[in-house]
Amino acid sequence: NDRHGHAVGDDVLRRFADAVRLNIREGDLAARTGGEEFVLVLRDASLPLATSTAERIRALFAESRVESARGRVTATSSAGVALAGEADEGFEDVLNRADTALYRAKNAGRNTICIATN
């Protein structure tokens, strides 16, 4: 949005939503929680399944191009993956661990995925 304007930003968000839609299963949940932040809830997913889903979305989105008045725009995504565990008191705990992993991914150079620790 800052570099290319809101119209292009909206196109990029739609492209990301397409990558998500192509890579989640029926019954999984995808929600936009903020400007550029999304949460995916994958029912009954193992850590390998959740990680591979996040990786497929990351790779597909990184390969995507958005044509705009300013030319071709590319973007990348970072993700934090967390599984619900016995120590979690609720969804907020899982979300906080995923968020911490997301910021590790961003600090590691972006366009990557980090797995949360319990």
Q: What angle do CA 5, 79, 67 make, to 5 degrees?
A: 30
**Structure-token match 């397409």, residue found:** 18
Distance CA 68, CA 16 (A): 16
Given the residues 36, 37, 63, 67, the one annotated as active site:
36
Closest Cα partner for 45 from 56, 37, 32, 34? 56
**Is 67 among the residues known to form the active site?**
no
Q: What is the DSSP string of 72-117?
A: EE-----EEE----TT--SHHHHHHHHHHHHHHHHHTTSS-EEEPP
Distance CA 65, CA 76 (A): 10
Catalytic positions, written as ranges: 36
